[in-house]
Amino acid sequence: MGTDASPRTRGARFVITCLGIGLAAGLLSGLFGVGGGTVIVPLLVLILGMDQRLASGVSLGAIVPTATVGVISYAVHGSVAWIPALILAAGAVIGAQIGTWLLPKVSITALRWGFVGFLALVIVSLFIVVPSRDAGLPVTVATVFGLIALGLVTGVLAGLLGVGGGVVVVPVLMLLFGASDLIAKGTSLLMMIPTAISGTIGNIRRKNVDLVAAALVGVAACTTTALGAWIATIVDPLVGNILFAVFLTVIAVQMALRAIRGRKR
């Protein structure tokens, strides 16, 4: 049985664990333009024995301040495409509703394997296509429709698999839209904010979030997000791609293990 991290269990270990998880998640969030949920959720479950759904709620709540700091850090370098981010967010919000509606109707195991296949293709592509730091993300009729589609797909995957948007959005913006790695990451972080706010409000209504844990993780994450974003700006784009490929490999392995466990049930 998981725990809801009630006040009686919120001792020094609980606080230190949440802060430590937040520091790691913030660094990854700033470095890769992701929400950090791939770190927050498994560690909360593993170390604190928190229920999976509650841990997801904590992660979503912590993303709001973390992504905000990340956006500011990337915006300082002019690496946020504001209008594309809002288009992506609109698509993601709608897609998430579609995803939760589809949840009881599709094979999650098959979807997980499909997502592992997608990540494998992305990982290989990251070693072939190195984005230019000068590349932007212009708004044209074609890109608007493409961004809406990407937002919808991202939202659907989030609703079905609980996969954070950055894992999908960042590589697709680089590989298919030709955006620079920095713009892809900054835009991804901005896209997450309205989605995370909407999801957190819903979780609070359903009492599916530990606000104390979310605050601890979020505050700690904010202290390292800017550092991660700064590292992203100084590393060579190819090095950035390699680091991102390693990160995606970890996620792919996690997803494959879930698919294997799901098939055994």
Cα–Cα nearest to 189, from 88, 42, 50, 46: 88
Q: What is the distance between the terminal CA atoms of the chain, rounded to a whole angstrom?
A: 18
pLDDT band, very low/low/confident/very high, at 112 (cuts 50, 70, 90): confident
Answer whether 151's CB lies under 8 Å from 95's CB: yes
| Distance from chain centroid for Cα 104 | 23
The answer, yes or no, to whether residue 2 has pLDDT greater than 50, is: no
Query: What pLDDT does residue 101 have?
Result: 84
pLDDT at residue 3 is higher than 80: no
- Identify the residue with better confidence: 7 or 239: 239
Using DSSP, state whether 131 is helix, strand or coil.
coil
pLDDT at 7 over 50: no
Question: What's this model's pTM, rounded to 2 decimal places?
Answer: 0.85
The answer to whether 63 touches 69, Cβ cutoff 8 Å, is no
pLDDT digits (tens, 9 = 90+) for 44-62: 988 988 887 888 889 889 9
Q: How confident is the model at residue 9, as a pLDDT? A: 61
From CA 2, how far away is CA 213, in angstroms rounded? 15
For residues 127 and 150, what is the distance between their CA atoms, to the nearest angstrom? 22
Q: Which amino acid is at 181?
A: D
Q: What is the mean pLDDT of residues 240-256?
A: 90
Q: What is the mean pLDDT of residues 202-231?
A: 91
